[in-house]
Amino acid sequence: MRILGIETSCDETAAAIVENGVHEVSSAVATSRELHEKTGGVVPEVAARKQVESIVPVIAETLERAEMSSEDIDAVAVTVGPGLIGSLLVGVEAAKALALAWNKPLIPVNHLVGHIYANFIDNPEPVELPAVAMVVSGGHTDLVLMRDHGDMEYLGGTLDDAAGEAFDKTARLLGLADYLGGPLLSKVAEGCEVNPVSGKLPRPKIDDKDFDFSFSGLKSAVKRVVENENLPVEVVAREFEDAVVDVLVKKTIDAAKAHKVGTILLGGGVSANKHLRKRLSEEAQKEGFKLHVPPLRLCTDNAVYIAGAAYFNYVEKPLGEVQADPGLGITDLV
């Protein structure tokens, strides 16, 4: 079964064709990121207008790269939330129009559940369920128990800033970048191999028994360190990254132990973080869990995992019932 996936939840316009949920046939992504770099953040109206410009060319490009037409597609899948409402609407309306014109089923997909399915794409190793999935993105930090496809339980998530948001805000505070500075902060941290101030910043909620997170205090602690101490930027970046990764790794391993699963899945933009991948992989191995992490190009937003998630969670909805929903998070789904 071939599914055309469409993703327009924020500032990326993406389309992809995926076979049987696991094989990527083609993918295209356009981004309006450079416009948001100028304003130091996404202006939703600007992002939505770029979605309108890009959606038809991106879908056409995806079909062209696959050398396919509507006859080769069995269903259309689209991200319905969470995300910016103006951006989401463009994808949802495009998907509805295609499903109607091509007479194909339409499958709504939750963006965060989608991130988890990046682990199933062209993975040479079988992904065994049940699993604990950690979704770390710009807007979310969620721990989810995935008993089976379509059977998920929300275990916990951030009470304030998401992990990616904390990376981006701290990068701004350190004067590294005004917009999406997370990857750059991580690169700067690589300049400090051995952390000389380990423990200076708090590891919020690390020993709490729940699976919630809180990163906003960490950002304020970085501010105090920057104002009061004359530490090199790479040292502060190293300690910040260590603090976030310590918490993410500990809580993920704790959740996997508590729910007696054998598999851990990572997903979301922050799963591109090298330090997180390395530390989680070391801990998972030590504790006897099988860890899957998506290839780097599938960590940040794209439509490949949207089509993948649609295949494994196939719930066809009548056209009129498919609506964009900005607030729809993992908690609303399970």
User: For ligand KG4, which residue of 90, 118, 180, 247 counts as binding (CB under 6 A)?
Assistant: 180
Contacting positions for Zn ion (CB under 5 A): 137, 301
Backbone φ and ψ for 140, nearest 5 degrees, come out as -140, 150
CA angle 26, 29, 32 (to 5 degrees): 175
Could you tell me the smallest distance in angstroms from the CB atom of residue 180 to ligand KG4? 5
Nearer to ligand KG4, 8 or 137 (CB): 137
Q: Of 42-50, 60-68, 182-190, 204-212, which part binds ligand KG4 (CB under 6 A)?
A: 182-190
CA 256 – CA 146 distance, rounded (Å): 11
Amino acid identity for residue 11 in this structure: D
Q: Do 28 and 63 meet the contact criterion of CB atoms below 8 Å apart? A: no
Q: Is residue 270 a contact point for ligand KG4 (CB under 6 A)? A: yes
Of the candidate residues 268, 294, 308, 329, the single one contacting ligand KG4 (CB under 6 A) = 268
Question: Using the rule CB under 6 A, is 167 a contact of ligand KG4?
Answer: yes
Provide DSSP, 198-216. Answer: TTSS--TTTT-SS--B--H
β 75-81/263-267 pair status: unpaired
- Residue 55 CA, distance from chain mean position: 21
Q: Is 87 in the site for ligand KG4 (CB under 6 A)?
A: no
With respect to Zn ion, which residue has the nearer C-beta, 99 or 313? Answer: 313
- Contact between 182 and ligand KG4 per CB under 6 A: yes
Handedness of CA 142, 148, 152, 155 (dihedral sign): negative
Element (H or E) spanning 104, and its range? none
In the bound state with Zn ion, the residue whose beta carbon lies nearer, of 112 and 132, is: 112
Q: Which does 139 bind (CB under 5 to 8 A by kind): ligand KG4, Zn ion, none?
A: ligand KG4
Does position 5 bind ligand KG4 by CB under 6 A? Answer: no
How far apart are alpha carbons 235 and 212 in whole angstroms? Answer: 27
| Segment (H or E) for 308 | helix 304-312
List the strands of the sheet with 23-31, edge to edge.
23-31, 12-19, 2-7, 75-81, 106-110
**Is-contact 103 74, C-beta < 8 A?**
no
164 in contact with ligand KG4 (CB under 6 A): yes
Of the candidates 24, 168, 239, 254, which one interacts with ligand KG4 according to CB under 6 A?
A: 168
Output the six-digit token pair for 159: 């009470």
Give the position of tokens 């996997």. 256
Q: Is 81 in the site for ligand KG4 (CB under 6 A)?
A: no
- Please identify, using beta-carbon distances, which residue of 257 and 278 lies nearer to ligand KG4: 278
Residue 120 binds which one of ligand KG4, Zn ion, none, with CB within 5 to 8 A depending on kind?
none
CA distance 100 to 298: 29
Contact 298, 309 (CB under 8 A): no
Backbone torsions φ then ψ of 186, nearest 5 degrees: -65, -40
8 binds, among Zn ion, ligand KG4, none (CB under 5 to 8 A by kind): none
Query: What single-letter DSSP state applies at residue 174?
Result: T
Among ligand KG4, Zn ion, none, the one that 87 touches (CB under a kind-dependent 5 to 8 A) is none
CB of 127 to ligand KG4, least distance (A): 20
List residues bridging with 213 in a β-sheet: 158
**Binding partner of residue 183 among ligand KG4, Zn ion, none, CB cut-off 5 to 8 Å per kind:** ligand KG4
Task: Confirm or reject binding of residue 32 to ligand KG4 (CB under 6 A).
Answer: no
100-139 footprint of ligand KG4 as x/- string (CB under 6 A): -------------------------------------xxx
Site for ligand KG4 in 273-312 (CB under 6 A): 273, 300-301
Write out the residues near ligand KG4 by the rule CB under 6 A. Answer: 137-139, 164, 167-168, 180, 182-183, 186, 268-270, 272-273, 300-301
